[in-house]
Chains A and B, each alone.
Chain A
């Protein structure tokens, strides 16, 4: 099958949104750059069809965060075409230019400029071509909706489609400038999401929805606990079921059937014995263990002279903040479908990093990049948990043995068992106030958590910030009883919980209103504006806490996005149940590409933040993950929703930043501070469950 027909027959199952045949036909025969960097040639990102439609090819994936829309807006803006004219194709390693992965809120602030640059150059080339064709100087031309016309006489015109005639554009221009923010006509506007229609009609395809001819569904044997080794396996009962094939390939044992539920049933008949896990850890003993097992601390920042500052310190306040393991729990479990075709492997996968998966597959199966294609359909939530996509390798290995396409879709138990959790961690903060109520010393030591946001943004003369162990790996073996990894704004959630809780502890000690206390220690003008903005919108009146009102405040500078939030809670002292009534959040994220998309991300952050603050905690014992489904692992529900008010502070002077992470980092301290304001007790461990609240009230 040549590339052209291949594309026509299979292209529609990637993230093609209404991709017209006219654009597909001009596909070139070569694989876009195998080199892990963004290609310089704009043709890698943009293709103009004879009908003037623009194909926009990006290696990012759409997992709900709205970058399909935001990136299309950036391309349309620079090209002067309408948003409807842009067709997005995402996350297909054969068709899209390389990309490092969709995480860290990078799509807009890191990749956005690359795409804008490509689109700006494309437009400049097209205008030059139009100028030659029409015999009008380029300065005398305008472009609207992909039509280049004379400024003086709009009837003298040519369309992008006519200029390109379905061919690849050979001409290139150097040093083309992107549009200044002041000239934006589309970016910053409210538009409908490009993935909307597909998602409300059930037409959006996720990996598990893709079933090539002859696919068998695999249900894979898993150990009961991490570290439990397989001793023996008896597959005879499973093999007796009609239509079942059992595959044993090294450590991989799976039941296969043309129907996924029947494959699972067959798996249930496989009898296996395992050696017990050597792990003796549980969520009761984990913090002690982490402090012992952590690698040596790394110093992240140091300032002034902690020793000498002791003399100026009147009050010393020290506290230890604890965080448990939490799950990503995307609603779509990990899924992959693998098909071999004459030595070439195609894997559809629910992954945040198709190019990373491609290189993992090439290594695992001894292939070249040319012989592996990863296609990413819509992803049903990732949050950092779909970076590695091991299910892709499982599907590929099984398909190779089975000799037919194989689908691997984890069930919820596998999802909880195999997740790379947000690590549990311990953060110690020690700070000192001087005579005048200013913070003079600040020590922050994070264990297990990671480095992001460990440093303080406040103006404190003497500090030392250290970190030991991280979500990122490089930890001593056995430090964590299972896999850990990036979880939406990794490390920052735990560090900010400690820092911003401690700011309130200090404010209370100093007898100062927590907003005033923060303002008197802040330097960053954008942060000050954000805090004052939220204060006004919330209707905060300044009083030293605790006031009994149940008001909380927290703020953070997350990678140059300023977030300031306030919340109001009501706590039932008898039951310990916290009701969050409202959250108001102001965010300065620079230029906002798609305001409603940004607001959706903030709301998502608030809700997910309520989850980790109040509800979520993985329980485990001896390598076994005790939470296996949503009966015990609780996610935030409709009845627990506060009202959420989001204020985006317009800031044309700062380039567009990512919006998928910043707002979530303040949530732990925000809720802890509001609970303290309501009850006068300080919760030092997340999640702040009714039991922990009742306990704190008793103490």
Chain B
């Protein structure tokens, strides 16, 4: 059952000794102690647990550990540097695009994945890309503006 599964996590090689059928969100949070990834629904329905796998935004609550073997996983902790935030994070900060902040890591990573593909999205494209990410606090209009602004400023660097 539990054998070591290796992947790249935020630029570093890691290996998790766990059952490969376990979902990545729990391995990240509990085995690897990166709690920036949040679990809001556990069924791929809210986007709080979004991480990047090889640059694509995926729901880590519904992505098995085995499926990321050998791949590159990025969580919110891996996005910026301690001294310097990533431009998408900057934009969220500037626009106050969060309230309780629980959806924020997933929002930022979803936005990052969008900007990689579509560097200068318009509001409709942002809305479409983030439509599966829920925010109960209603920070939506801020988030839309932040992602648009991050795009206009040069996106993901």
Contact = CB atoms under 8 A, between A and B. Distances in A.
A201 B131 contact: no
Nearest to B100: A64
Nearest to A607: B138
A564 to B, nearest CB: 19
Given A604-B138, A631-B45, A206 B102 contact: yes
Contacts of B41: 412, 629-630
A523 interface: no
B137 A199 contact: no
B152 interface: no
A158 B36 CA distance: 42
Contact of B140 (A63, A381, A638): A638
A629 B43 CA distance: 8
A198 B77 CA distance: 11
5 contacts: A199-B98, A202-B75, A330-B136, A331-B100, A331-B136
A66 interface: yes
B99 A205 contact: no
B102 A381 contact: yes
A335 to B, nearest CB: 10
A605 to B, nearest CB: 7
A32 B128 CA distance: 50
B138 A63 contact: no
B154 interface: no
B46 A331 contact: yes
A341 B143 CA distance: 43
Given A331-B48, A630-B134, A638-B130, A200 B108 contact: yes
Given A206-B38, A333-B40, A199 B104 contact: yes
A633 B151 CA distance: 32
Given A332-B102, A383-B136, A608-B136, A411 B42 contact: yes
Say what secondary structure dominates the interface of chain B: loop
Given A261-B26, A332-B38, A65 B99 contact: yes
Contacts of B76: 201-202
A106 B125 CA distance: 38
Contacts of B89: 200-201
B30 A608 contact: no
A134 interface: no
A456 B11 CA distance: 61
Interface in B1-60: 22-23, 26, 29-31, 33-43, 45-46, 48
Given A261-B22, A261-B26, A630-B45, A204 B101 contact: yes
A65 B38 CA distance: 19
Given A202-B76, A378-B100, A641 B134 contact: no
Contacts of B101: 64, 195, 198-200, 204, 378, 380
Interface in B111-154: 126-128, 130-131, 133-144
B96 interface: yes
A50 interface: no
Given A201-B76, A603-B139, A331 B38 contact: yes
Contacts of B108: 200
Given A63-B100, A200-B89, A200-B104, A381 B131 contact: no
A635 B140 CA distance: 12
Interface string A471-509: 000000000000000000000000000000000000000
Nearest to A633: B45
A243 to B, nearest CB: 11
A641 B128 CA distance: 11
A203 B22 CA distance: 24
Interface string A375-417: 0001111010000000000000000000000000101100000
Nearest to A199: B101
A629 B142 contact: no
Contacts of A607: 135, 138, 140-141
A135 B85 CA distance: 47
Given A332-B100, A600-B142, 4 more contacts: A64-B101, A192-B96, A201-B79, A331-B135
A474 to B, nearest CB: 28
B105 interface: yes
A553 to B, nearest CB: 21
A560 interface: no
B141 A643 contact: yes
Contact of B143 (A329, A409, A638): A638
Contacts of B40: 331-333, 412
Given A211-B30, A411-B42, A636 B100 contact: no
A66 B98 CA distance: 10
Nearest to A65: B99
A329 B46 CA distance: 11
Contacts of B137: 64, 331, 381, 604
A546 B127 CA distance: 32
B149 to A, nearest CB: 14
Contacts of A217: 30
Contacts of B98: 64, 196, 199-200
Contacts of B75: 202
Contact of B93 (A63, A200, A409, A641): A200
A630 B141 CA distance: 21
Given A64-B101, A195-B101, A641-B141, A203 B38 contact: no
A628 to B, nearest CB: 9
Interface string A205-234: 110110100000100000000000000000
B131 A203 contact: no
B100 A202 contact: no
Nearest to B30: A259
Contacts of A606: 138
B70 interface: no
A532 interface: no
A665 to B, nearest CB: 15
B103 interface: yes
A381 B139 contact: no
A639 B46 contact: no
A260 interface: yes
A596 interface: yes
A635 B48 CA distance: 14
Given A260-B26, A600-B139, A380 B134 contact: no
B38 A261 contact: no
A644 interface: yes
A630 B46 contact: yes
B93 A192 contact: yes
Interface in A52-104: 63-66
Contacts of B45: 412, 629-631
